[in-house]
A = this chain, B = another copy of it.
Amino acid sequence: MHVIVDFCIVPLGVGVSVSAYVSACQRVIRDAGLDHHMHAYGTNIEGPWDDVMAAVKRCHEEVHAMGAPRITTTLKLGTRTDRDQSMQDKIDSVNA
C-alpha cells in the first residue's frame, strides 16, 4: 500500500526554537530513501506504507534521543486503490 503523508513533528520542553529537531528528521527521511518535500508547516513524504511509518517512528526516537521529553506530531495519510498518484500528480491535477 503506497501512501502520501504530511508530517509535522513538534518537540515540547525544549524551548521555542524547534528547527534543529526538524532538521534531524529531514536527515532521517532522506536516509530512508523516501521522496519528500519540506514546506513551511510540515513535510510531504511518499512511499510504501511500512517504510514511511518506520521513518516517522525513527523521527520520534531521534528527537527523544536529542533530549526532547515530549513530542506531538500531526500526520495526514492518503491512500488510494483506484489509481497510482504521486505527490507531483496531486499538484499537477489542481494546477491543470
Which A residues contact B (CB, under 8 angstroms)? 1, 4-6, 8, 10, 12-13, 15-19, 22-23, 26, 37-42, 44, 46, 49, 53, 56-57, 60-61, 64, 69-82, 87-88, 90-91, 93-96
Q: Are B40 and A90 in contact (CB under 8 A)?
A: yes
Interface of A is mostly: mixed
Q: Are A40 and B4 in contact (CB under 8 A)?
A: yes
For this chain, the copies found in one complex come to 4
Q: Are A16 and B13 in contact (CB under 8 A)?
A: yes
Chain B residues within an 8 Å CB radius of A71: 77-80
**In the complex, how many angstroms separate the beta carbon of A4 from the nearest chain B beta carbon?**
6
In the assembled complex, the Cα of A4 lies from the Cα of B10 at a distance in Å of 15
